[in-house]
Structure formats: structure tokens, C-alpha cells
């Protein structure tokens, strides 16, 4: 028997046959020159033609894709048409005598390295550039471009990692589960797998020791893959199949624990299209409205009027319901030329999010003006919160800006250990807190959440992270004047809007720690509601205590799952 463990990013239990994604396109030899007898001008002219063919191929794939997949493919197709790559490559052919394939390879490296040097969001685009580079090289060679295997029977896909264009073509009817040896819980692969409801594990070192065609059992709730498939494994997998045939439904109204305790279930969104989907999924409102969509890929700040219109469109989908707006979270993985410093040596620990208002206050005040105007014209109940809060002074400053504009409730995001530890003082100065578990985990564990090699540290089951969630809830109840207040009774509510909220087992722990609302991708709403309905608040508290007291993240998760038989019954 062989078993490998990675980081679980999207639950589900599957028995199936491994099909391994073809390795990336081989690098052309460093000394590969223009073939003898070929005019360098003719060789150089092959490059834009190959790039255009790749663009057309990706565009055709985009036309067949849906939702986020189509968006990713369209963006990658545009990158294939970017003249900066083809013109640089042509120059290497004409001035250096390199073959077209070698020139494209080196030009792709130059562009990718430049993006990586910028850091954050731009660094993530380097993967796209190298994907496009490989596709152009394959076109020049007359080879098949890398991609998902074309086989008749459904299979379990294993890969080093998936390029955005490959991830966008994932078909849950063909791919039963996804296991990668690289990547992290916040990679594009993990995010899209969650959106598709596809069982997925990342950072599973050693997975490629399984030969193509091996039958395995994937437990994407635990993050394990084994080639010793038992009758019990088949029962678990069948339960998952039945869940797909008869999916759980969610009709709104929050989650109700078996003792009647209510927990609000909200959606994470990034734009009006997301808001429409969340409303259709009966989310009880929005727990995280990421407003960056208006600011990214722009040289200039959007006007107050443009922002007001965009926010009002989102609010219109939730009349009478809560919409929690996060003010701009620029910096780190989302640099903006008009707001952030591209030369910061460590942008994740730099001037990002709320901190940008220290020197460029008008960007935040303009945004608050727009939110206030949109809120006044809307029937939604608009809450506003600032990301990257570290001190009570930060909270006082942001809350005062909100009060000046009659924006209430006004709250903060708890993403730093300092905010969690001083939650009682923080919540004395504002109305609510929302825990961003992605960043809280990154900062607690001192592990860049973009690095696949640190994926095991970027695990919200880490006892240290859960202890800080508990500290936040305890501090909030103390600030609210009722140390025993849970659920809707809390005067100073605490929500969770990180990816952890959509994990059904972890949702039980979060509620047990004192969290009042959970915000997630709409697809996760039915399973989270179902699992929560099987426990009382006291049982949730007991399971939460085990998770916090555990020696390791794995031991805590296993102890909680052992106390939630519903997960096995659903194949989760």
C-alpha cells in the first residue's frame, strides 16, 4: 500500500483511475539557432503566426467554457496576443540568431521574471505567461499543446499544477477529482475547484509515484490518496456519487443547529455578476464584497460616480439583506500603480489595504463617499469594514471616517494576530469584526500563502489560528457586555469570510468558537447548512475545544471529523 497526503482544498470522496497530465513543454536547447539555409526574417515571422494560432485555440475553448472558466481563458487568450512577448522573441531571432522556439522561450522568461519582480497579483500572472509560452513553442514545433487528457472514461487527474487555461477547462463530468503535487490552498487551481465543487487536493508530494492507470481512493476532506482501495472506500465514494445525483438544497434562512441556535450564512462576491448568483443560491446576504474589481488593471482611480453605480448594482440584488463591503484591499498580491509602491521589499508586510490611507487618504475617502451614496439609494443593509487592521488607532480612524458619512455598522477585518489578541479593545471602537482566515493564517504561521511549498502551514486547522479565532470571539463578547452571547444575540458580532467558512467540518468548529456568521462561495451553502443542522451548540463547542487543544492541524481535523459522522454519510 502507498498513501500520500496533501492539503485538502475541496471535499469529496472518490474511487477512480489516475490519468496524469502531460508534463510541460520541453525547453528548447539553449544553443538552438535558426536552421541552416533559413532567412532569420522568415524564422522571426513564424512567431506571430504561432501566437495567433494559440490565441484562436484559447478563444475557441473560452466559447465552450462557462463562468469563471470562460473569464480565465479569455484573459489567457489576450495574453497570447500581447505584442510584448512576440516582439521580444522576434528581436532575439533577428539580433541573436536564435531559433523561433528558443526565442519565444527566453522572451517568455523575461516577461515572467519581470512580473515576478513586481510581486503579488502581478507575480501570479507569470504562470499565465509561461503557459502561453509553452503553447506557442508547441505550435512552432507542430506538437500537441499540454492539457487535460482526452479519454473516454471519467478519471482522477494528477498534475504538477494546472495552468489557468487548463483549470478553466475542467469538466466535473469527466474529472472525478484533482490532485496536484504543487500549488497551495489559495492557488487558482484550488479556488476554481471549490467553485466547481470538484474534490481536490494540492501540494501532495510524491503523488507521481502512482503510475498512470492506478486505481486509488481520494479523500479530499482529509487530503489523502491511497492505492489500497477497500469496501469501505467504495461505500464512501458511493455516498459522494449519491450526493451529486441528489444535491442538497438551501432555501435561505441561515443554518439552524439541532438545538435551534441560528447561524447566518452569507456569500463572498466580487462583482454584480457574483451577487446575482449568490442571490439565486438563496444566500442570506453578503459577508464579503471584494471591491477590488473596480480598481485592478487600471492606471487611474475610478471616479466616485463610477464606483457609486457599481456598488448600487450589487446592492440591488439584496433588498432588506446585509451586504458587508470590504474597502479596497490593494497591495501585496493586488498592487495598484496609483496607490501602492511596487518597490517594497516585502509587500505582504507593507503598506497595503487600510494602510494606504495613511499617505493617500483620498482613495479611501472617495470610496466611502461612493459606498454611502449607493447605500442611501438602496434597500440593502450596508455594512462597511476595513482590511488589514492592526491597532486600536487604526480602528478608531476608520470608524470615524464611517461615522462622518453616516455609514453604520462599521467594522474591521481581523487578519493580523495583533487585532485578534486585542479584539476586546478593537470592538469597543467599532460595531463588528470579520475574520479573514486566509490572511490570518498567513500572518500567524509566517508563511506566504502563495507558496505551494508552505501549503501545509497555510492550513486554517492550525491550532494557533483557531486559538486566535477564539480570542477574537471572546474579546468581541467582552466588548459587547455579554460574555455568554452566541449567534444572533451577540452585540458585537464576529463573522468569518475566509475559505475556512465553506469547509463543513471547520464551520462547526468556528460556530463552537463563537462565530456568528459564515460567508463562503454560494456552492458551499447547502452542505454547511446540513452539517451544522446535525449538532447542538454545546456539541460544536466540544468539537471546537478539541481542535484548539490538538497538537497538530491534522490531529485536530481528524478529531472533529470523527465527531461528525454526517461527513462520511455525505461522502465529504
CB atoms inside a 10 Å sphere around CB 234 = 13
Tell the burial category of 285 from Cβ atoms under 10 Å away from its Cβ (0-12, 13-18, 19+): buried
CA 128 – CA 106 distance, rounded (Å): 15
Q: How much is the average pLDDT of 421-444?
A: 95
Q: At 131, is the pLDDT very low, low, confident or very high (cuts 50, 70, 90)?
A: confident
The whole-number pLDDT of residue 147 equals 77
* Dist. CA 120–CA 347, nearest whole Å: 8
Is pLDDT of 523 > 80? Answer: yes
Mean pLDDT of 449-476: 90
Assess whether pLDDT exceeds 90 at residue 390: yes
Position 126 scores a pLDDT of 80
Angle of helix 120-141 relative to helix 40-64, nearest 10 degrees, comes to 110
428 pLDDT higher than 70 = yes
Q: Give yes or no for residue 144 having a pLDDT over 90.
A: no
Band (pLDDT 50/70/90 cuts) for residue 39 is very high
The pLDDT value recorded for residue 559 is 97
Q: Dump strand ranges (E) for 139-184.
A: 155-159, 175-180
390 contacts 423 by C-beta, under 8 angstroms: no
pLDDT tens, 316-372? 999 999 999 999 887 656 666 666 666 667 777 877 778 888 888 998 999 999 999
- For the ranges 11-25, 45-59, 394-408, the maximum mean pLDDT occurs at 394-408
Q: Which residues contact 69 (CB under 8 A, 6 or more apart)?
A: 62, 167, 168, 169, 170, 192
Question: 267 pLDDT exceeds 80?
Answer: yes
Q: Can you tell me the distance from the alpha carbon of 173 to that of 159, in angstroms, rounded to the nearest whole number?
A: 18
The per-residue pLDDT for 341 is 63
pLDDT of 487 > 60? The answer is no
Which pLDDT score is estimated for 358?
A: 84
CA distance 278 to 522: 6
As a whole-number percent, the residues of the chain with pLDDT over 70 amount to 94
- Dihedral (C-alpha) 408, 413, 419, 420: value to the nearest 10 degrees? 110
Least confident of 101-110, 161-170, 315-324, 546-555: 161-170
Give yes or no for a contact between 492 and 480, defined as CB atoms under 8 angstroms apart. Answer: yes
The pLDDT of residue 162 is: 84
Confidence of residue 450 (pLDDT cuts 50, 70, 90): confident
Query: Could you tell me which residues are beta bridge partners of residue 264?
Result: 517
* Average pLDDT of the segment spanning 431-445: 95
- Residue 332: per-residue pLDDT: 58
> What share of the chain has pLDDT > 90, as a percent?
65
Name the DSSP letter for residue 297. T
For residue range 132-142, list pLDDT tens digits in order.
999 999 999 98
pLDDT tens track for 150-197: 788 999 999 988 877 777 778 888 899 999 998 877 777 888 888 888
Cα 374–379–385 angle (5° rounding)? 55
Quote the strand ranges of 153-310, DSSP E.
Answer: 155-159, 175-180, 200-202, 215-219, 224-226, 255-256, 262-269, 285-290
C-alpha cell at position 351:
503598506
Average pLDDT over residues 262-286: 95
Residue 258's closest CA among 520, 549, 511, 559?
Answer: 511
Q: Is the pLDDT of residue 17 over 60?
A: yes
What pLDDT shows up at residue 483? 67
Per-residue cell: 469:
479565532
pLDDT number for residue 154: 94
Cα–Cα nearest to 533, from 489, 499, 498, 569:
569
Angle, in degrees to the nearest 10, between helices 392-404 and 361-376: 50
For position 493, what pLDDT does the model report? 95
- At 92 the pLDDT is 94
Of 100-104, 185-189, 241-245, 277-281, which gets the smallest average pLDDT?
A: 185-189
pLDDT at 55: 92
**Residue 120 — very low, low, confident or very high, per pLDDT cuts 50/70/90?**
low
Does the pLDDT at position 307 exceed 90?
Answer: yes
**Residue 223: alpha-carbon gap to chain centroid:** 17
Give CA separation, 66 vs 29, 70, 432, in Å. Answer: 38, 5, 36
pLDDT value at 315 more than 80: yes
Tell me what the mean pLDDT of segment 548-570 comes to.
95
Q: Which residues are annotated as catalytic?
A: 188, 497
Alpha-carbon span 110 to 88, nearest angstrom: 9
Q: What is the mean pLDDT of the chain?
A: 90
Looking at residue 489, its pLDDT comes to 60
Least confident stretch, 48-57, 178-187, 279-288: 178-187
* Range name among 18-32, 235-249, 407-421, 430-444 with the lowest pLDDT average: 18-32
Handedness of CA 318, 321, 324, 325 (dihedral sign): positive
Q: Which residues of 58-214 form beta strands (DSSP E)?
A: 155-159, 175-180, 200-202
Among candidate residues 248, 23, 12, 14, the one with its CA nearest the CA of residue 154: 14
Dihedral sign for Cα 312, 314, 319, 325, please. negative
- Residue environment code for 534-550, b if the CB has 16+ CB neighbours within 10 A, otherwise e: bbebebbbebbbbbbeb
How confident is the model at residue 337, as a pLDDT? 62
pTM for this predicted structure: 0.80
pLDDT tens-digit series, residues 527-537: 999 999 999 99
Strand residues in 198-355 grouped as ranges (E): 200-202, 215-219, 224-226, 255-256, 262-269, 285-290, 322-326
Q: Mention every residue, 6+ apart, whose C-beta is less than 8 A from residue 299.
A: 337, 338
Amino acid at each position: 500500500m502507498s498513501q500520500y497526503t496533501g492539503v485538502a482544498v475541496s471535499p469529496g470522496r472518490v474511487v477512480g483511475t489516475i490519468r496524469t497530465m502531460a508534463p510541460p513543454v520541453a525547453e528548447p536547447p539553449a544553443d538552438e539557432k535558426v536552421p541552416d539555409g533559413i532567412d532569420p526574417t522568415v524564422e522571426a515571422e513564424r512567431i506571430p503566426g504561432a501566437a495567433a494560432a494559440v490565441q484562436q485555440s484559447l478563444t475557441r475553448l473560452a466559447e465552450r467554457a462557462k463562468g469563471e472558466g470562460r473569464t480565465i481563458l479569455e484573459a489567457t487568450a489576450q495574453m497570447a496576443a500581447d505584442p510584448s512577448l512576440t516582439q521580444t522573441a522576434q528581436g532575439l531571432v533577428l539580433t541573436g540568431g536564435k531559433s523561433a522556439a528558443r526565442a519565444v522561450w527566453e522572451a517568455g522568461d523575461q516577461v515572467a521574471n519581470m512580473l515576478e519582480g513586481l510581486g503579488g497579483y502581478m507575480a501570479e500572472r507569470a504562470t499565465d505567461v509561461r503557459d502561453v509560452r509553452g503553447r506557442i513553442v508547441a505550435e512552432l514545433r507542430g506538437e500537441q499543446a499540454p492539457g487535460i487528457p482526452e479519454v473516454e472514461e471519467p478519471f482522477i487527474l494528477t498534475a504538477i499544477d494546472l495552468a489557468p487555461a487548463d483549470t478553466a477547462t475542467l469538466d466535473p463530468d469527466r474529472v472525478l477529482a484533482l490532485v496536484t503535487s504543487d500549488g497551495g490552498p489559495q492557488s487558482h487551481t484550488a479556488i476554481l475547484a471549490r467553485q466547481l465543487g470538484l474534490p481536490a487536493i494540492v501540494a501532495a508530494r510524491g503523488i507521481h509515484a502512482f503510475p498512470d492507470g492506478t486505481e486509488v481512493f481520494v479523500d479530499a476532506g482529509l487530503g489523502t490518496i491511497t492505492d489500497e482501495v477497500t469496501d469501505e472506500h467504495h461505500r464512501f465514494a458511493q455516498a459522494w456519487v449519491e450526493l451529486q445525483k441528489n444535491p442538497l438544497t438551501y432555501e435561505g434562512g441561515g443554518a439552524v443547529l439541532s438545538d435551534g441556535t441560528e447561524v447566518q450564512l452569507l456569500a463572498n462576491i466580487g462583482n454584480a455578476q457574483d451577487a446575482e448568483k449568490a442571490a439565486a443560491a438563496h444566500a442570506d446576504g453578503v459577508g464579503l464584497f471584494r471591491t477590488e474589481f473596480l480598481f485592478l488593471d487600471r492606471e487611474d482611480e475610478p471616479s466616485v460616480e463610477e464606483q457609486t453605480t457599481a456598488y448600487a448594482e450589487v446592492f440591488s440584488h439584496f433588498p432588506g439583506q446585509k451586504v458587508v463591503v470590504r474597502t479596497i484591499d490593494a497591495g501585496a498580491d493586488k498592487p495598484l500603480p496609483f496607490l501602492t509602491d511596487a518597490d517594497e521589499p516585502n509587500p505582504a508586510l507593507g503598506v497595503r489595504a487600510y494602510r494606504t490611507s495613511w499617505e493617500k487618504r483620498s482613495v479611501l475617502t472617495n470610496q466611502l463617499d461612493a459606498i454611502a451614496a449607493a447605500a442611501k439609494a438602496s434597500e440593502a443593509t450596508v455594512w462597511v469594514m476595513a482590511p488589514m487592521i492592526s491597532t486600536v488607532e487604526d480602528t478608531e480612524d476608520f470608524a470615524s471616517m464611517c461615522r462622518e458619512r453616516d455609514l453604520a455598522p462599521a467594522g474591521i477585518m481581523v487578519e493580523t494576530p495583533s487585532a485578534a489578541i486585542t479584539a476586546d479593545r478593537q470592538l469597543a471602537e467599532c460595531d463588528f469584526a470579520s475574520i479573514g482566515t486566509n490572511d490570518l493564517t498567513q500572518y500567524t504561521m509566517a508563511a506566504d500563502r502563495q507558496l505551494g511549498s508552505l501549503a501545509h502551514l497555510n492550513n486554517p486547522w492550525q491550532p494557533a489560528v483557531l486559538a486566535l479565532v477564539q480570542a477574537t470571539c471572546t474579546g468581541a463578547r467582552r466588548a459587547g457586555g455579554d460574555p455568554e452571547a452566541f449567534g444572533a444575540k451577540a452585540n458585537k458580532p464576529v463573522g468569518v469570510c475566509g475559505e475556512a467558512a465553506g469547509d463543513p467540518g471547520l464551520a462547526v468548529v468556528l460556530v463552537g468558537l463563537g462565530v456568528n456568521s459564515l460567508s463562503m462561495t454560494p456552492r458551499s451553502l447547502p452542505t454547511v447548512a446540513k452539517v451544522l443542522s446535525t449538532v447542538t451548540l454545546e456539541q460544536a463547542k466540544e468539537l471546537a475545544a478539541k481542535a484548539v487543544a490538538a497538537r497538530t492541524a491534522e490531529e485536530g481535523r481528524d478529531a472533529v471529523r470523527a465527531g461528525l459522522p454526517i461527513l462520511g454519510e455525505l461522502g465529504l
